[in-house]
Structure 1
């Protein structure tokens, strides 16, 4: 069973909903947990139905902040246990494994002053637990310092997060893909990346799904990446197979300094040909991952340009629709009947 958790940072724009729908069609998760929808419960229900999730619960935002939605396919898949502005807790009737287990979509308070209340909520949920339990979402906190690059994070905050996971007997599920799940800042001097989104589970849930897999997916319209949990997963590669894979950004070969660097690395290498090639590959991979301010600025500018073009197209068609309606009005025309018919579909 596939479960997707994503802090979408607002779903008020039709273009964003369209992108979300396309992403979901490609992944096809059975259960969908959305965070920071920034919509009322009624509007979020309409978005959820558009995305193909006929069953679910939607928690409205408070002003322009928050908002949660948990949707699922197949009517008898889940039973609601509890919910609040920061969590949705359900019991999953998993016909695949023949057992029931518990899923909690969780949203840690983004305000540090409210973080302790979030941890107390997690402890309260843990006290009422008797089933295999997995928690998925945006905790708005990191557990250890190397889950953050750039900026500062108090050791006291990280300790409090580790303590609540220990108190609730929740174990980190790990992940595949990009290391960080949230990013802000277009230059390396101001760029901050953190692993705020994750999955954690009790030991009996891990025993129930020994081949599970968590992936950090690519994204476009949010500063958080989607987290995909697959309870079935795939067979894992051993470490040897993993390190034998060579990945390198081919476009870096076009840089003016590339040939000179390769010659230098080859000269510095020692031993037989395979050893020298391995050394060369390590140097090329390390160099390929080194992203400069100029490259970060290029990426950010390209993303802004793409979003701007999409906005222009959306505004064009929106304005054209208004012009057509003003021109033709509600006269007894084919245009009016066509539009009226579409509204009833």
Structure 2
């Protein structure tokens, strides 16, 4: 027995991010010693055969997971360190989970592959939800495996229309599909140290009768849904006239039809006890790609959730990306993360008016959108207040929540943070701003002028603009270097030079 044991090789493995690959040669034996760079004394090995088998090797994926619960491990660590049972452990923030949702209008060509590869490299989503793919998934398997999305569930198109694909990285999240149909795939999403939640990926049919069937199914699900639930995708509907921009000659007739359609959509959302997560970035997600007066744009894509989902992900938000390959915008759903709004006002020394500006950025400092406008005769305080107030109106219109507002005007922070005084300057603007801040759970804080150079540059652009508020989805060329400097914390050096 001992002689037989000596002939078996011992192969050492080091676990990297809770996973390792073992190459098991056919017809041979080997002991595999797994070295784990962690202090846990017990682990589980879950061995899953991978899809690839070649002539010489059978490849297996080995996932390493704690055998004990987090609470048990903390108790064990307290005993090792000699800490009392009542000692509090720091609560670490959950890392954000990102989902890319895109009605790509066809996934079987090189242009789609190139655009999706760029989106994945830039945003690194944990899950892809692709709609109206128009081809079968098996034709794209190798492409998605190379991107890292080796697990999937899908409903292939009927003929050359429709299709819903869910693809995910199994090293980041676990997905258990509960139900799949031509208009919806529902799955439970799980991730280590994350509460489980339910996702319904939607591609609503352009056919009103079929859309009614989809909403009937959603209402039935809502009656028995007690878990956190998000419903996201292309609904082929809109919730208000502000979500549709069209220059049709039959404007009056179309407005009445649009009003009835949007009211029906809102009633359905309310019947399911869902709320809109809002969006940042380009608000209207679909365009008919026609020019001038023939152009129509509508917000067809969105993410809805119930109160349970909103409770566990209070900072979750949706970012609409610009159109690229498709006539519909990709959406990125972030389960965590803080949106910041930097604002500033500007006045000319000769009393010839001024301007204001602001920009929305994510937790990494990356640009989301911005705005600026010209003001006629105004004081410095008035320009600063209008910068904040107009930013708040955008927050309200787009359904954003828990935005952190930063300004270098201390007096503005005081006015919007303290109780409203009887002799408050510009009382009407201050009062309205406070109401929006309260309703949208926004906070405001003071920052140094050196940390606000991008908003200052937008305010100066506003001085030379027409009176109308200009909202820009791409950063103006004048502030590109400033944005980069802010991200790498070099704003002060830029100001000095």
- Calculate the TM-score normalised by the size of structure 1: 0.70
Query: RMSD over aligned Cα, in angstroms?
Result: 3.0
Give the superposition deviation at 1:288. 8.5
Give the superposition deviation at 1:44. 4.5
Tell me whether 1:114 sits opposite 2:210 in the alignment: yes
Instruction: Check whether the contact 2:356–2:463 (CA below 8 A) recurs between aligned residues.
Output: no
Does the residue aligned with 2:221 lie in a helix, a strand or coil? helix
In 2: Cα distance, 1:78 partner to 1:111 partner: 30
In 2: Cα distance, 1:95 partner to 1:241 partner: 41
Tell me whether 1:284 sits opposite 2:488 in the alignment: no
Give the superposition deviation at 1:22. 2.1
Does the residue aligned with 1:186 lie in a helix, a strand or coil? coil
Tell me: higher relative CO, structure 1 or 2? Use CA pairs within 8 A at least 6 residues apart: 1
Tell me whether 1:83 sits opposite 2:180 in the alignment: yes
Instruction: Check whether the contact 1:270–1:276 (CA below 8 A) recurs between aligned residues.
Output: no
Higher strand share: 2
Instruction: Check whether the contact 1:44–1:58 (CA below 8 A) recurs between aligned residues.
Output: no
From 125, 145, 151, give the equivalent of 1:55: 151
Q: Which runs of 5+ in 2 are unaligned?
A: 1-96, 249-253, 346-354, 360-372, 385-458, 473-497
Match of 2:303 in 1: 199
Does the residue aligned with 1:177 lie in a helix, a strand or coil? coil
Q: After the TM superposition, which of the residue ranges 213-222 and 154-163 deviates more from structure 2?
A: 154-163
Instruction: Check whether the contact 1:44–1:69 (CA below 8 A) recurs between aligned residues.
Output: no
In 2: Cα distance, 1:241 partner to 1:180 partner: 27
In 1: Cα distance, 2:178 partner to 2:134 partner: 23
Does the residue aligned with 2:180 lie in a helix, a strand or coil? strand
Match of 1:230 in 2: 334
In 1: Cα distance, 2:296 partner to 2:221 partner: 31
Give the superposition deviation at 1:210. 0.7
Does the residue aligned with 1:189 lie in a helix, a strand or coil? helix
Give the superposition deviation at 1:23. 1.4
From 300, 320, 323, give the equivalent of 1:216: 320
Higher helix share: 1
Match of 2:484 in 1: none
Describe the shift of the 1:81–1:274 C-alpha distance in structure 2 as closer, same or farther (beyond 3 A). Answer: same
Deviations 1:36-83, CA, capped at 9 Å, x for gaps: 000124224444334321011121111110011001111661111111
Q: State the number of aligned residues.
A: 271
Deviations 1:295-326, CA, capped at 9 Å, x for gaps: xxxxxxxxxxxxxxxxxxxxxxxxxxxxxxxx
Match of 2:414 in 1: none
* Aligned counterparts, 1:1-345, within 5 A: 1-74=97-170, 77-97=174-194, 99-150=195-246, 151=248, 152=254, 153-234=257-338, 236-237=339-340, 245-246=357-358, 269-272=376-379, 281=462, 284=465, 289=470
In 2: Cα distance, 1:139 partner to 1:286 partner: 36
Deviations 1:218-256, CA, capped at 9 Å, x for gaps: 23110001110110122x336867996447xxxxxxxxx
Q: After the TM superposition, which of the residue ranges 116-125 and 54-63 deviates more from structure 2?
A: 116-125
In 2: Cα distance, 1:78 partner to 1:280 partner: 47
In 1: Cα distance, 2:205 partner to 2:186 partner: 17
In 2: Cα distance, 1:160 partner to 1:272 partner: 46
